[in-house]
Structure formats: structure tokens, C-alpha cells
Structure 1
């Protein structure tokens, strides 16, 4: 009844949205540091671009790039949205680049016309990663990170035990950044030096096969040349124009005049009113026709909610159970952006997805990172889609403890174990593992690793022996993962929805989003909980752990999890992905 009464209001939203598009004929976007994350994966900016693709009356899109959303996959998705918009015949895309980096240029290179300001330069430098190693520092402080890994490429622990990467880690990082850089340069060449343009240079246009060979050779030469340009570092706008990498040099006011001239009128770009009516229309569709749920999982995988964004099994499991019982929901998409975390929480979520799959299809789509515990969850879905430059894989386990006995001894604090049985100090933060304990702990981790392999093997239909070759904690880009069979396709939400529609035949999909955000008072509750615990008898017995948790509250996730629960294995990617 209520939906019938409100229908005229919601129906008018489409009318006003369409009228604004017809009146404008152009759209101007500015991606700035203030709004860049709106254009990230699942952001309102990405959904806004999706709606613009269907507006047939729009002739010109002007994009001013001053910043980019964080993450390779988010930047790739933004570039693909712009490419989809301009692929409609009769449309033109202008870009004014004021973000002088290879990534900024890569996103902007899809434009029909690309300009920069006269005084700017472009830092044409290679893709790299600079992981930090704290082993020497911790040794100097008298702190021993006694960490063990299952998987020769599982590198997280070495950041706290070494001063340089192992050969295995160096190899995987070199291949990872090499894959990312190859993708970027190939897409730049495809955008700026199109095959249709090369036809004009071809000596024999009547021979398609010869033309393809000539263009392939031309493309390889261009790739080699773009790689060689990185030796220069910063390229001036004059050099960029000479290389054919930009179309001209314009100040901001000149660029705005160019836009107005192109549409043959004063540019009246779509405003927030368009976004308002679009939001009303989207709300109506979700309210009345939702039959697909997109579950957004972001952050580390943990058992209980954290003060920051996290994938807490205690929050997610009840939602998955309700979805399973809701007959109006025909399918589920699990959107994952996570470096992993707790093995127990990952396994709990994976199990709930396996049960959900018995009644409705579940498709996983990966964001910037979906590795280790994040991949564990995805492997239980019917199909997996990853962006070409998603960081994924890392099928391995890590765990251990911090030993503070030596550090405490330096300030006059000592401890002695008095026990009635063996291994009373197994998990004690006051002393490292003995050789025998370390072997026992390694066996414990390898049992978790075998479970990880079993879950992936069962979900991906890959024999364990074959899976071992691409496991061992090794990380891959989405493109590499597709070649190894770890994902079903290269793509994002659009491809995942298409795959879901093939499984739900005869049903028009209308997705609704579920996002898990931290409770605003979660951090206060954590602090109060610690205070309350320290005043109890249990708190007196474990006061060393409480003190350690407080000191390391802002420490990297691995260290915090190891300190709080050394008895629980971790499926967690190293923190070097933040350096990419």
C-alpha cells in the first residue's frame, strides 16, 4: 500500500534525471583529494558513472584528475568505467591531468584528448614496492618475534625477523610488480596508439594478416620505448607532446574554454541535483525489486568486530543465515577487499557460504586485495572474479609469538617458570619457543595449511598436488591468478552480476548492498573492557598480555593478533601491499 502511494514521487525521479541529462548534454567531473575515494570500488562515484553510461543524450565528459582512489583495482575499475562511457558512438572524453604520476596518466590515457598544464611534468617511473623490515630494530630492543610460516613464500613473519627479504619473497615481489607494470604500459599503448590509427602507417592495408604482424611489432617497439623513458624519471610536457603521450598543453581556464567550445554553448554540467534524483531512483529499485544481495567485506578477517573496518565472523554469520532463509533473495555476490587475518574466522565464514550455496548461487568479486584469508573465503563461492591487478593468492599460514623476556630483563624485570606439567611456557610472551616447541608449533600451522589447501581444492576443483605449485603463500595479480585457475575470470561487479544472471535464469537482477561498518563506540568498549579486565583476578594473572596489547594497539595487524591470540593461526598477507 505504501509503495503504491509513493510510486508517483519515485517515478518522477527518472523523469527529472533524464531531463537534466537532455538539458546539459555534457558532464564535468573533478577527482580531487577530497572526493577521490568516492570513485573507489563500490563508491558512489563508480555508481554515478554507471548511470551516465545509459544517458544517451550526453555528448561530452570532462574529467579533471587531481587525485585517484587508493588501490590498483579501484583505479583500474575507474579507467574501465570511463572507457565504457566513451565506447558509445558519438561520445567524446576530455581529460585534464593534474596528477603527475604513471598511475594518473594510465587512468587518463583512455581519453580522446588529454591535456596537462604548461608548468607540470610527469614522473614516468616504474612500479615498485619497498617493504619494511624490523628485525634489527627488535633485536636491538631485546624483542624476539618468534614467527613460523607454512609456505615457502609466506613472507609476513620475515618483516619482523629479518633485515632483508628472502630470495623467495624477492622473486614473488619482482614478478608481481612486473605484471602490474606490464598491464599498465600495454593498456597505455592500446589507448594512445590504436590499431585503427596504425592502419594509416601500414604499407599494405589490404593484407589483414600482414597488418596485424606489423602492428604487433609496432606495439612491442612502443612498449620497449616507454620502458626506456623511465630512465629519465620526470618528463616535461614538451617531451610528452613530442612522444604523442598527450594532445596539448592548456591552463585550467583554457581547458574549460575548450570544453565550452566543443559543445558549442556554455557548459552546464550535470550537478548534484542529478545525483539526488539518481539516489531516489536507486532507493526505489532496491526497496521494491531487490532480489540479489551484494555483501561488502572490507578489512582484516577477525572473529569479533574491531574499532576499524573489519570482516568479523560474529557479525557476518547471522546475516548469511538470514539470507539463506529469505526466499526473495535469488543470489548473492560477496565483494572482498581483505589481506586476510584469523584462520578460524575465515573458515567459519567459508563454511557459512558453503551452506548458503546449497540454496542459491554465490559469486565472489575481488577488490584491491583478496589474499590469504580473503582468498579462503572466496574459494568457497561458486565462481570468483578478480580485477587484472587485484593482489590475491597467498595460500599459506603464519603464526607465533613475541618474546619480551630479554627486553624486560634489561630494565630489571625477570621471570621463572614453575609448572606442574610440560610446556607451561609454550605460549608465554616472556621467552621464545624451544627448538622442540617450534617444531610442534610448525606442525600445528601445517595442519591449518593442509585444511586451507583442502578448502581451495574442493572449491576450485583443483587437485591438491597441482594446487601446491601455485600455493606456498605466493601472491599473484588477478591476471596471473586467472592463468593459474585460481579465479574464473578477470573483471569486477559487472562480470560477477552477469555470471550470477546465468545461474538465475529468467530473473532480472536488482542488487541491494550490505556493508559492515564498525560501531561508533566499539573502540570505547574495547578500552573499557581492558580496564575492567585488568581489575579482575583473571586480569592480574594476564596483566603482562594486557599491557602488551595496550602498547601495541596501533601496531600492524599481525603483531596485534599474535600478541592477543598466539594459539590461533593466521591467514594474512604481508603489509607490503600498502607500499605498492
Structure 2
């Protein structure tokens, strides 16, 4: 008959129940947990819409969210350590650098461990070296091979095919069209790329040397022998242990204080993406103002990601498309942030290689107008902010760049590819009817006439002169001084600082701190960070009545009574459903 009595819970049952209660009480973050991170590539600057996300486990974390989560975890008493697999594919050096700084800050406060089956390249090991311990599987190798840049040149192939490149460039280093017009690196092109690679390597060697207590010259010698097999890498001080995944996980358990480590005594683990969602402050419904208490200050973040294009832009339709930064989209976001009285300052986060001159100029204009309205603007440069990406940044009060950011490229290029000879070889006829002499100037069926070519030359001269003049005015330099570092030449952020093109080195967090100071706020004080244009569910489904900023077109009383209350309700619904913000950016060309 005893078989029908309810069983008495055992020690394991009680422990499991206690862990569930503790996890719920701490909003999904169990006490003493170890965060996990799987890094096959650096987190993207922004996450677009991916219809396959439901099949692949969800979209990746954005770089800004990953960095913020790691910094938050370093101060979170519930988090005991961090373990990551670091096997980066091709990634932007500045993005890896920004992530590495966050990992280094965590490692200075708590145990951390990097492991990999193999470290496939320099950036993989560069990131891994920021962890407290570096592990590798026995069959792996450390690919600390330095940096290289490969380029493909099509001029000879075009000559054989009957394609004529017709481009006008201003700036001897403006090399975008060289792939079409040359059959190898020009002297200027090689000089600029060489210096960029040297700067990146100097930064990587210095960081690795500091973390691993090595000399940069030793690293340079090792790079000439790399990839290094396990024994050589360990003997050189690049690895702490040769071991497998299960051994690495047992080691991080020891590092966080677990005794007699086994599968049953492992500390609870949590993916960084889950931690970021659980640890993010919950949005509460608006509360009536408390007399004598000021609301938390607000910083607006306007993400500009992708090629700068005329018109509207938006996130990429993953996995097929890339994000674009539309002049209309970014301009509207800047106007709305500038009109919002609750916004104390604006951070323009730029990750763009350039785009159209007209869209770049339109965004630059809105940056300067926001400043005239009394809103400090800080440009935060991501992996790349070159050409048009620099153009939109130069209007800010302060420019903050990562040391490895690719920036500069202050120059102009315009032109087309002419396929007339190719068509003739293929037996394809082509003819034109036009009403005026230049109506078909941009046709690919015929080259520019001498008059049209002269117009292209004059146009390039005008655009380059305007670009240099505006940089000189923004950076408080002479036009001659700007011209010497312009000429279409790319620079790393570290070199750009030396040449006066940026004000400060650092990532998004540094830009936020600078924005708070410019707004007269406490540098270490808490602020609300709000993305413009809005990326919540209500922002995507709510139609706009006009191009007028919403903050300027709605009466403050109505916004307070209806708009903010409804916004709070929808935000809470969205958060409870696990909705993730989408950072809208844009496209363009320069």
C-alpha cells in the first residue's frame, strides 16, 4: 500500500526547486552563474530582419548590446565568470577591438576563459588574449599571422572584354575605382594600405603583449613563424592550457570557486544574449511626476549603418541584404531627436564606408541644425566611417573613434563603365535618341564627350573643395592642413587622432560619456538611451502624419496624457513578449 503514498522529496529535488525559485527571484539570472559566449564572428553593428531567425536560434546580439551586457555583468554580483569560444571568421578590427575592451574590463574584475578548437587568425587570438586564461584543443593552431590586404584588379580583363572605365577622382589616394582602372596597387594606394596595416598591427601587438606579459618584438618574430602548433604556442606564452571543451568548462567552474567539480556541481550557465535580456531594466508604465524629483536624463542614439543613399534606408533583410542609411531616414531621426525636449544630447553612431554626396550632405546639415538647437552631438565611429561616413561625422561637436576604425578618405570619385566595345563584339546594336546634348551623358553605351568630361572634372573639383573647406571649418584647421591629410587617404582612428581628424579614441561607451559631459550631466550618472528613429513595435506600425518631427507637432499636454502612457503600455507588452529592438540605419554612396 505504500506504493500509493506520495514520495518524499529528496535532497536533489529540494536543491532543484530552490534553484528555480532563486532564478525566478533574480529575474532569470541565477546566483553564481557563468556567462557563455560563442564567437564565430564579431557581433554586427546592428541586427536586421532575418526571416530565418526562428529556425537558426534567433538573431545575433548587436555589438552595442553585447558590449553593454559584458560591462554590466562585470558589476553584477549574480555573475561569477565568463567563458567564450573564440573562433572569429573575417571581422572588422574596430568591432573586435570594442568587444575586447569590454572583455578586458570583465577579466580585471572576475574570472574569464577563452577556448577554441583553433585560433584561425590574428583577430581571434587578439580577442582571446583579453581573457584571464587562453585554452586550445590539441589539434589546433594559433594563427597569429599578422595583417594583410588583398585586392582584385580588373583593368586587363576589362580591356579584353571591351569595357572602358571612365572615372574622375579627387585625391591621389582615392582608390575606390582602382579596381577598374588599374592592374595592381598604385604607389599611393600601396602607401595608404601599408600604413593602415602597420597601425592595426601596432595596436594588436601592444594589446596582446600587455595581456600576456610579452614583448611586441617577440610577437612580431612569432608571427613570421605562425600558425603556431600547440607546443610552440604554449612555450611562447600564448596559451595557458591545451585541453578540450569539457576540461575548459571544468576549469572555469574551479576559477569561480566550485570545489570537487563534476557535471552535478557545475555552476549555472547562461548565454550572454539571455543575460542581456534578463538583466536589461524593465520598462515600467509612466508614473505621475514626483514633486522635487527630476526624471532621468535622456540621450538619443541615431544609428547610421551601411552605405549612405538618397531617400529612405533601413535594416538589411537578412541573410540576403545589407543595411542602408537613407538621407531621409537619418535626417528625420536627427530632426525628431533635436525637437524632443527630453533629449539632452545626441550620439550619432556611424558605421559606413560612404555613399552619395547629396545624402551625406543632407545628413551633415541636420547634424549642424541639431547643434544650433542646443543639442550637443557626438559622432561615435564604428568599424568604418570613411568618405561620406566622415562627412556626416564632421558636423558633430566631438568625434570619438576606435583606434582601429577606418576613417578619412576625404575625397571624391565619380564616373561610369562604358560597354560600347563589348556590345559591338557581341553583335549587339545600340542607338540613342535625345532632346539635348547631355541627356544621355550617363549612358553606359557611349563614353563621355569632351564637354561632358570637362563637366565631370569641374564637378569633382567643386565637391572636393567643399569637402575640404567644411572639414577645415569643423576641425578648426586651415584648408591646406586638411588637404595634406585628405586626398582620399584612409586612416585608422589612432592615426586620425594624430592628424586632428577626430577628438578622442574609444567606443560607444566613451561617446556616451562625452555626450553626458557636453550636456552638463554627471559623467558616471545614469541616463535613458533611446534610439531614433524608434525601433519598437509601435514605431514600426504607426504611420506618420507628415515629415514634421513628432515631438514638435504634438502638444506637450497631449503627449504627456496620452502619448507617453500609451507608449509605456506598448513597451511593456513588447518587452514581455521578448521583442527585440531593431536598429534602423541606411544606405548610400559617395
Query: Shorter-chain TM-score category?
Result: 0.7 to 0.9
8 A contact 1:41–1:77 mirrored in 2? no
Q: 1:332 pairs with 320, 335, 346, which one?
A: 346
Distance in 2 (alpha carbons) for counterparts of 1:184 and 1:34: 17
**2:282 corresponds to 1:264:** no
Show structure 2 runs of 5+ residues with no match: 1-21, 45-58, 260-264, 288-294, 314-320, 536-586
Q: How many residues align?
A: 478
Match of 1:8 in 2: none
Deviation at 1:97, TM superposition (A): 3.0
Structure 2 contact 41–87 (Cα < 8 Å) conserved? no
Unaligned runs of 5+ residues in structure 1 are 1-13, 194-218, 518-559, 562-569, 572-580
Q: Distance in 1 between matches of 2:107 and 2:359?
A: 43
The question of whether the paired residues in 1 share the 8 Å contact of 2:118 and 2:137 is answered with no
- Note the 1:116-135 alignment, pairs <5 A: 116-135=136-155
Q: Which residue of 2 aligns with 1:348?
A: 362
Residues 284-323 of structure 1 aligned to structure 2 (within 5 Å): 284=284, 289=296, 291-305=298-312, 308-323=322-337
Aligned partners of 1:40 and 1:75 also within 8 Å: no
Cα RMSD of the aligned pairs, angstroms, is 2.9
1:93 maps onto 2:126 in alignment: no
The answer on whether the counterparts of 1:350 and 1:380 sit within 8 Å (CA) in structure 2 is yes
Superposed displacement of residue 110, structure 1: 1.6
Matched, 1:189 2:209: yes
Is the CA contact 1:285–1:510 (under 8 Å) kept in the aligned structure 2? no
Partner of 2:399: 384
SS in 2 for 1:147: strand
1:433 shift after superposition: 2.3
Residues 537-560 of structure 1, C-alpha deviations (whole Å, 9 max, x = no match): xxxxxxxxxxxxxxxxxxxxxxx9
2:473 is matched with 458
Task: String of CA shifts for 1:11-31, please: whole Å, max 9, x gaps.
Answer: xxx99675765x532423132
TM-score (norm 1): 0.76
SS in 2 for 1:233: coil
* Distance in 2 of aligned mates of 1:47 and 1:489: 20
Moved more, 404-413 or 287-296: 287-296
Structure 1 position 63, deviation (Å) = 2.2
Partners of 1:40 and 1:46 within 8 A in 2: no
CA separation in 2, counterparts of 1:326 and 1:107?
A: 39
Match of residue 99, structure 2, among 57, 62, 78:
78
Is the 1:69–1:75 Cα contact (8 Å) retained in structure 2?
Answer: no
Q: Are residues 73 and 191 of structure 1, via their aligned partners in 2, closer, same or farther at CA, if it must alter by over 3 Å?
A: same
Trace 1:150-299 onto structure 2 (pairs within 5 A). Answer: 150-193=170-213, 222-262=215-255, 263-265=257-259, 266-271=265-270, 274-279=275-280, 281=281, 283-284=283-284, 289=296, 291-299=298-306
> What per-residue deviation string (whole Å, max 9, x for no partner) do you get for residues 209-230 of structure 1?
xxxxxxxxxx6xx322221222
- Secondary structure of the corresponding residue to residue 494 of structure 2: helix
Paired with 1:304 and 1:19, the residues of 2 have a C-alpha distance of: 42
Q: How far apart, in 2, do the equivalents of 1:313 and 1:159 lie?
A: 27
Q: Using the alignment, how far apart are the partners of 2:367 and 2:76 within structure 1?
A: 37
What is the correspondence of 1:383-532 to structure 2 with a 5 Å cutoff? 383-415=398-430, 422-423=437-438, 425-506=440-521, 508-514=526-532
SS of alignment partner, residue 30 of structure 1: strand
Give the structure 1 partner of residue 548 of structure 2.
none
- Give the distance between the partners of 1:186 and 1:296, measured in 2 at CA: 30
Alpha-carbon distance in 1 for matches of 2:40, 2:211: 26
Distance in 1 between the 2:43 and 2:309 partners? 28
Instruction: Answer whether contact 1:39 1:69 (CA < 8 A) is retained.
Output: no
Is residue 302–residue 333 contact of structure 2 (8 Å, CA) maintained in 1?
A: no
Name 1:374's counterpart in structure 2.
389
Q: 351-360 or 438-447, which moves further after superposition?
A: 438-447
- Quick check: 1:154–1:397 contact (8 Å CA) kept in 2? yes
Question: What secondary structure sits across from 2:143 in the alignment?
Answer: strand
1:30-59 CA distance string (max 9 Å, x none): 324389548876443223213202214544
CA contact (8 A) 1:291 1:509 kept: yes
Distance 1:275 1:124, change over 3 A: closer
The reply on whether 1:111 has 2:131 as its aligned counterpart is yes
Contact 1:30/1:66 (CA < 8 Å) preserved in 2? no
CA–CA separation in structure 2 for the residues paired with 1:189 and 1:317: 43
Q: Is the 8 A contact 2:307 2:324 kept in 1?
A: yes
Contact 2:64 2:508 in 1 (8 A): no
1:181–1:371 Cα change, 3 Å: same
> Do the aligned residues in 2 keep the contact of 1:300 with 1:339 (CA within 8 Å)?
yes
3-state SS of 1:363 partner: strand
CA distance in 2, matches of 1:286, 1:382: 32
Contact 1:365 1:493 in 2 (8 A): yes
Helix, strand or coil for the counterpart of 2:83? strand
Cα distance 1:393–1:188, how it changes in 2: closer, same or farther (>3 A)? same
Indicate the residue corresponding to 1:536 in structure 2: none
Q: Secondary structure at the match of 1:438?
A: helix
CA distance in 1, matches of 2:335, 2:434: 44
Deviation at 1:426? 3.2
